[in-house]
A and B are shown apart, each in its own frame.
Chain A
Amino acid sequence: MRPQGLFRGPAARIFRMSDRQDIVVSAPRPMPRRAALVEARSKLASASFHAEPHEPLLYAALRAGVAVPYECATGTCGTCKARRLAGVTVGDWGEAPGKAFLRADRDEVLLCQTRALSEASFEIPGSVNLASIDRVRPYFGRATVSRIDVLTPDMLELIIELDPPLDFDAGQFAVLRAPHITGYRGYSMVNHPGRAKQATFVVKRKPDGALTDWLFSRARPGDPIEWFGPLGRAIFTPQEQRTIVCIGGGSGIASIISILEIGCSSRHFEHFEAAVFFGIRTGADAFYLDRLERFAQAFPKTLTVTVALSHDEPRPDLSQRYPGLKFESGFPHEIAARDLAGRFAGRVAYLAGPPVLVDVGIRMLITQGRLPVRDIRYDRFS
């Protein structure tokens, strides 16, 4: 809960206002709403940065080029765990799943769910080098909803106008927040990477999800959205000059579309093969097939796209309508293992989608594909 009316000064006293909130009161001088100086230390390095009172400490660190480890940036994975050594902080999401990795008796917090109300100091576990190597440091921006298109009964495409533009690489994601809904949610950019004035996202309806409920039922063009990005390191750049394999399930196809956009526009696929495996439940859950068909038609010799139906047999009319795509029954990682058996070597693999699909994909790529870990890229932020 966010403390309201916080004051500080000499001879402070604590009044218990309710069971869940302590307010420190002294002289009637409001605490200045200014950035707090925050120190982060690991065994290898230390760094300091300023954090605005409204921003999660993880975002403040990344914005300042302090490479605190993170994965989801939204309270789920627990990767941004740190121990508070000093300072007054407030936590935003009491039930964050990532708290399973914390010990309250050691004053551990998730930096993506914690804001600083005073100067503060944190210890990051492990030997972490805090120097950022990101091409673009993430930053905050505002946006307005431009369009919302329903793709399937539980999937929609959200297009927003960005101010300022979002500079990102293919495979990255941003976190979005509606001003009237607490907390950020992560979504991959679908569109061509670069300095984009408009961003497209695929949003899957979540049971009891406040943001998705709003997007599916009440959001309208012109509605404001706040964002922070770009985030994630599962990046594709044509400069690497590598053959690739992409395995995505459901909304995970978003970042793969972005990879295909830059791969096609840069003519990367004239020289390097790409095998894409897109997992959906049934034919009725299919979306973006027109786009995938366009990519496959552009590079028929080097770019193969297989749509894997996990709970359905492919209907003949799908193959007739999309002759550039292959349709098969099964899970995408299983079909990839079979189709690319003996041909994984040298590829960079991109995985996206539900965490369990990413997990089994990793297992397959390590055990059957024999890919080195450095060539398996993914960001789990569902």
Chain B
Amino acid sequence: MIVAGIESDSLEALRATEILRGVAEATLKAIAAVAVRKKLEEGETLYAVGDPVRSAYVVAAGRLRFILGGDGRPAARGTVIPAGDILGWAALLGDQPRRIATVIALEDCRLLEIEGEALLGVLERDPHAGYLVMQRLARMITQSFLEQSALLKGAT
């Protein structure tokens, strides 16, 4: 189904994305308009360490594996990213030119690829949405930092 030129399943995927919860429908439609649908087969790499950072990805269906570091082999311990999550959000930070992780599809996946600059442009036009997204991004980064610090303290 097409909603005014936007695929309704893209809109549905954005509505189900935690970081966009509470964002106005009009802004979600604007994000959907700049999003590109992407399919990934099981075992395919979405991006690898060292790749240039351009886009963030919303997981519409399937699970992916996030592997910090990595040396080109599909072989490292990682984290599972489920549907409803966003990944590759370094694209929203501006000062992260290269990926520091590798992401591989654990199963066939459907994603929405959203160019970082385009997404920031949409959020600039809706400051409330921009505030919500950046607040959640800051929370995610802080959470990840705190978890890592706690783990480090107990590690050696």
Contact = CB atoms under 8 A, between A and B. Distances in A.
B29 interface: no
Given A69-B75, A127-B43, A106 B98 contact: no
Interface stretch (A171-179, A209-217, A266-274, A365-373): A365-373
A362 to B, nearest CB: 3
- What is the interface of chain B mostly: helix, strand, loop, or mixed? loop
Interface stretch (B13-21, B133-141, B146-154): B146-154
A231 B50 CA distance: 26
A302 interface: no
Interface in B102-156: 104, 106-107, 148, 151-153, 155-156
Contact of B152 (A42, A285, A357, A374): A357
A357 B74 contact: no
Kindly name the residue among A43, A124, A359 whose own CB sees the greatest number of chain B CB atoms within 10 A: A359
Interface in B41-73: 42-45, 48-50, 65, 68-73
B155 A356 contact: yes
A43 B43 CA distance: 9
A71 B77 CA distance: 8
B43 A77 contact: no
Kindly name the residue among B69, B72, B98 whose own CB sees the greatest number of chain A CB atoms within 10 A: B69
B65 A377 contact: no
A280 to B, nearest CB: 6
Place the interface of chain A in its size category.
35 or more
B36 interface: no
Kindly name the residue among B44, B48, B98, B155 whose own CB sees the greatest number of chain A CB atoms within 10 A: B155
A310 interface: yes
Contacts of A311: 153
B69 A126 contact: no
Place the interface of chain B in its size category.
20 to 34
B106 A101 contact: yes
A380 B76 contact: yes
B149 to A, nearest CB: 9
B76 A71 contact: yes
Contacts of A124: 43
Given A249-B155, A356-B148, A69 B72 contact: no
Given A70-B75, A372-B50, A376-B71, A360 B156 contact: no
Interface in A324-382: 331, 353-360, 362-363, 366-367, 372-374, 376-378, 380
A113 B66 CA distance: 22
A281 B152 CA distance: 10
B87 interface: no
B155 A357 contact: yes
Interface of B: 42-45, 48-50, 65, 68-77, 80, 98, 100, 104, 106-107, 148, 151-153, 155-156
Interface of A: 42-43, 69-72, 76-79, 100-101, 103, 106, 124-128, 233, 249-250, 279-281, 285, 310-311, 331, 353-360, 362-363, 366-367, 372-374, 376-378, 380
Which 8 interchain pairs have the tightest Cβ spacing? A126-B43, A362-B69, A125-B43, A354-B155, A356-B151, A77-B77, A249-B156, A79-B75
